[in-house]
Amino acid sequence: MDRLIYTAMSGARNTLEQQGAVAHNIANADSTGFRAELHMMRAVEVKSEALPTRAFAVNASVASDFTPGPLQQTGRPFDVAVEGKGWLAVQGADGGEAYTRNGSFEVSPNGVLQTRDGRPVLGDGGPITIPPDNEIVIGRDGSISAVQPGGKANVVNVVGQLKLVNPPEQDLVRGEDGLFRQRSGAPAAVDERVQVAGGFLEGSNVNVVDQMVTMIALARQFEMQTKMLQNAEANDRAGAQILASR
């Protein structure tokens, strides 16, 4: 059979993977703090003794688009959005440190500040505990202040400090849980330059129009590759008929 079938098959396979990534991006267009996935392919020349007329398509890299998303005001005291570059540190399911841009937090029955899916939010010294029956304000530097109703006027107690980090983007990898971690697995250092906005959430950075255009282009590309597979099959069948007639 013509080797064309293998080159076309490699392209079709990777096109399907790209379509899956685009579909995942569109599905998360409304997810708070979501970062779009990027799948890129490249052509690799097939090494053989024959003429270099074949090339395989391989998945060159799986990356993320770290462009900030739009800020949306919510007014909730436990909502926080990172302004510009930076990340919020949370505790992963394995107990290690992970990073997110989704600052939609809440307080557990035990008073621990956590994400919506129950992951503790980390401060400089570990998970942050919020005192009950207090008015909470999150400052631009990530400090969490509590004001007790009925207490002394102008008395503000700092009860915690969000761990804000800004590791190099090329060192971050996305886990299956959607959280980012450093490739080395080591926790990132605190970056005092990172600022947050209390009462805001960051929207997804997915551009739905661009993703739909990409989906259409990938569908046409896949159609072309399947036609190449059909042509390879037709060539093989015609060649077999010629040989059989001799």
Same domain? For 75 and 192 the reply is yes
Q: Residue 207: CB partners within 8 Å, gap ≥ 6? A: 36
Q: Choose among 221, 220, 216: nearest CA to 26.
A: 216
Q: Is the pLDDT of residue 55 over 70?
A: no
The count of structural domains within the chain is: 2
The whole-number pLDDT of residue 28 equals: 94
Same domain? For 108 and 59 the reply is no
Same domain? For 49 and 105 the reply is no
Residue 182: pLDDT band (50, 70, 90) is very high
Same domain? For 157 and 213 the reply is no
Scan for tokens 């990027």, then name that residue: 38
Same domain? For 141 and 54 the reply is no
The whole-number pLDDT of residue 161 equals: 95
Mean pLDDT of 45-63: 62
pLDDT digits (tens, 9 = 90+) for 28-40: 999 999 999 987 7
pLDDT digits (tens, 9 = 90+) for 131-181: 888 889 999 999 999 887 765 656 678 889 999 999 999 999 999 899 999
Same domain? For 141 and 161 the reply is yes
Same domain? For 114 and 99 the reply is yes
What six digits make up the tokens of 100? 């997110």
Q: Is the pLDDT of residue 52 over 90?
A: no
Mean pLDDT of 89-113: 94
* 171, 187, 202 - which closes a domain: 202
Name the residue range of residue 216's domain: 4-66+206-245
Q: Is 29 exposed, middle or buried (0-12, 13-18, 19+ CB in 10 A)?
A: middle
Same domain? For 75 and 195 the reply is yes
User: Quick count: other Cβ atoms within 10 Å of Cβ 62?
Assistant: 13
Same domain? For 179 and 105 the reply is yes
Q: Is the pLDDT of residue 205 over 90?
A: yes
Same domain? For 182 and 86 the reply is yes
Same domain? For 91 and 177 the reply is yes
